[in-house]
Amino acid sequence: MKRRVFLSGLAGVAGCGGSRTLRLNVCNWSDYVAEETIPNFEKEFGVEVRYGTFESSAELFAKVMSGNSGWDVVFPPAEDLQGLRALNLLAPVRHELLRNLDRLEPGFRRPPWDPELRWGIPYMHGSTGIAFQKHLAIRRWADLWRDPLQGRITLLDDPVEVLGACLKKLGFSINSADPVELRAAQAEALELKKRIRAFLNAEVRDQLVAGDVQAAQAWAITAQQAIAETDRVAFAHPEEGFPLFCDNAVILRESRRQALAHRFIDYLLRPDVAAAIVVATGTATANGAARGLLPAEVRDNPVLYPPEEIRRKGEWFEPQPPASRKLRDRLWTEIKAA
């Protein structure tokens, strides 16, 4: 991964030396394409791609906010689309340039955050739940507050996730902006903090596999990676409900290579390309046709693609109004400082 970024960086430097090849600038989450995805695109279209990565949506937001970030295609989560649009940073997606648009899974053709897919094309999706050592038989968020887990559980290091889980435990929406509900959720989080070992994101995977951690609030993708390594780990989509997220390919308004950017997104929508990415990264694609190409155990993997009756309990993250953002940040700092 890093090596390829480095090499493509070199290609970029070489590109300054008078070569007139078109260069597309793509910034994506790390581990979100296959090894050959970018080189194949470069070969087929005779262009260069500068491929960068980011580690959090906040980092991406900060990067593109200036409006002259130098990136053409980036992959923000659905709940950030509204803010990016409000800052006038996005170029509308021209559907006539995307021949493979109908490859999207029906559920992602009219998503709630962008019903006409005007601003972004769903790329990968996932959910948050609990990864745990199988013998524990965890089914609900509330199980994390159970005694035997004392000191052997972890939470995600992310305010929307931790408050989201606590809100769900109490029967509220993960997107609640109600101060009373948020305070109640914070009380739950403070109680839970006394029992946790640490706040860990993807790095919890190794400790789940090694057995250090008994139960972890985790992204389905992380859990699936742990499950692939050991059959002692399982994953639950909590019964109270759980968060769903979707990362989208968007074209920045600043891009002067709109046509090439569309071609790149169309390339990613090709079933064979999308399927190769899924096989290489173990993520969940929004591309229905690509799913059809996958081996049955990947295609119907219940962790990455929960069946409809479970999926229905999921809730999409939504953008927070500024007042609620401020309150949530304060509550989060209090939780962390406690």
Partner 1 sequence: MKRLRSLFLAPAWLVIALGFWIPMGIVAAYSVLTRGMYGGVELPITAESLARFADPLYLGILAKSFVLAGIATVLCAVLGFPLALFVARASSRKNLWLSLVILPFWTSFLIRTYAWVFLLRDTGLFNTMLIATGAISEPMPLLYNDGAVITGLVYGYLPFFVLPVYATLERQDPLLRDAAADLGASPWATLLRVTLPLAAPGIRAGALLVFVPSLGAYITSDLLGGSKTVLIGNLVQNQFTAGRDWPFGAAAGMVLMSVVAVLLVLLLRRDPESLL
* 162/265 with CB nearer partner 1: 162
Query: Which residues 59-88 are close enough to bind partner 1 by CB under 8 A?
Result: 59, 61-62, 65, 83, 86-87
Distance CA 90, CA 88 (A): 6
CB of residue 21 vs partner 1: minimum separation in angstroms? 33
Q: Nearest CA to 138 among 128, 149, 126?
A: 149
- Quick one: which segment of 2-10, 30-38, 225-233, 325-333 binds partner 1 (CB under 8 A)? 325-333
CB of residue 29 vs partner 1: minimum separation in angstroms? 15
Distance CA 120, CA 148 (A): 44
CB of residue 210 vs partner 1: minimum separation in angstroms? 4
Q: Residues in contact with partner 1, total (CB under 8 A)?
A: 35
Using CA atoms of 21, 22, 28, 32 in order, give the dihedral in degrees to the nearest 10.
-60
Query: Which residues 176-215 are close enough to bind partner 1 by CB under 8 A?
Result: 193, 196-200, 207, 210-212
Distance CA 229, CA 18 (A): 47
CB of residue 301 vs partner 1: minimum separation in angstroms? 27
Q: Does 332 bind partner 1 (CB under 8 A)?
A: yes
Query: Would you say 209 and 230 are in contact if contact means Cβ atoms under 8 Å apart?
Result: yes
Distance CA 209, CA 132 (A): 10
Site string for partner 1, 84-123 (x = CB under 8 A): --xx------------------------------------
* 112/322 with CB nearer partner 1: 322
- Quick one: which segment of 37-45, 90-98, 114-122, 330-338 binds partner 1 (CB under 8 A)? 330-338
| Helix/strand number for the chain, H first, E second | 14, 12
Q: Does 148 bind partner 1 (CB under 8 A)?
A: no
Q: Nearest CA to 40 among 280, 226, 326, 249?
A: 280
* 42/158 with CB nearer partner 1: 158
Place of tokens 């700092």: 333
What is the secondary structure of 25-65 as a DSSP string? EEEEETT-S-TTHHHHHHHHHT-EEEEEEESSHHHHHHHHT
Orientation of helix 37-45 relative to helix 271-281, angle to 10°: 150
Q: Does 253 bind partner 1 (CB under 8 A)?
A: no
Q: Does 21 bind partner 1 (CB under 8 A)?
A: no
Q: Does 1 bind partner 1 (CB under 8 A)?
A: no
Gyration radius of the chain's alpha carbons: 20
Q: Does 58 bind partner 1 (CB under 8 A)?
A: yes
Query: Which residues 211-250 are close enough to bind partner 1 by CB under 8 A?
Result: 211-212
Task: Determine phi and psi for 255, rounding to 5 degrees.
Answer: -65, 130
- Quick one: which segment of 263-271, 277-285, 300-308, 322-330 binds partner 1 (CB under 8 A)? 322-330
- Give the footprint of partner 1 on this chain (CB under 8 A): 56, 58-59, 61-62, 65, 83, 86-87, 151, 154, 157-160, 193, 196-200, 207, 210-212, 322, 325-326, 329-330, 332-334, 336-337
